[in-house]
Amino acid sequence: MALRTLATRKTLGGLGLGFQQQLRGLQTFSLPDLPYDYGALEPAISGEIMQLHHQKHHQTYITNYNKALEQLHDAMAKGDSPTVVKLQSAIKFNGGGHINHSIFWKNLAPVREGGGEPPKGSLGSAIDTHYGSLESLIQKINAEGAALQGSGWVWLAVDKELKRLVIETTANQDPLVTKGPSLAPLLGIDVWEHAYYLQYKNVRPDYLKNVWKVMNWKYASEVFEKECP
């Protein structure tokens, strides 16, 4: 996640000459670049969807996340506990949207760059051990994603404590960590309508079927090996 420093207008006065020029710093988040062109995932995901999803939806989560964090900073400085509590839902929703989409972009890759190629090595072996085959795993994930009511995400994760793969779903923009601190996301599929409606209309199962054609298993394998050395 890209970070930059946003300086506020207030200076830190009354702390000596060396501090009078310092500005109160507030870290904010910025939109990460995609590692591929918007149209590079076609025909599985259209360039129009990718551009809107990245530039509009993800950017909106970031904008609102930064706004909520700034409001939280000010509320804490004032000791305004009711506002601090009130802001938690906005921080969770918009911060989660930023976290989830930042993972999602890495989970995808153009076919010419290995998108859709089956996992190998330790992750491939773990999938065979826990689910019997890659095809069986995909069927289970697609079933969970299709059955998820409303908006949310379906995940393939590794439980770092149990050293095993798990399938989880999260509602809205809840990040996977809300399901357990030991869960590390390997793949996350966005099943909000904004991720597929322009191309697949209301037929979410077709989107779930085709997204595997551009799934970046190389990235998932790297995360798996890092989390389960």
* Cα three-residue angle 214-202-92, rounded to 5 degrees: 75
* 3 state DSSP class of 74: helix
Rounded Cα–Cα distance for residues 60 and 53 (Å): 10
Whether 34 and 54 have beta carbons less than 8 Å apart is answered as yes
Residue type, 3: L
Which burial class, exposed, middle or buried, applies to 195 when counting CB atoms under 10 A from its CB (0-12, 13-18, 19+)? buried
Q: Which residues pair with 27 in a beta bridge?
A: 5
CA proximity to 100, closest of 187, 39, 181, 16:
187
Indicate the burial class of 154 (C-beta count within 10 angstroms; 0-12, 13-18, 19 or more): buried
Say if residue 73 carries a ligand binding annotation. no
The dihedral region occupied by 154, where left means phi > 0, alpha psi between -120 and 50, and beta the remainder, is: beta
54 is in an annotated binding site: no
Which of 48, 32, 33, 50 is closest to 214 using CA atoms? Answer: 50
Q: Binding site for Mn(2+): which residues?
A: 53, 101, 190, 194
Q: Binding site: which residues?
A: 53, 101, 190, 194
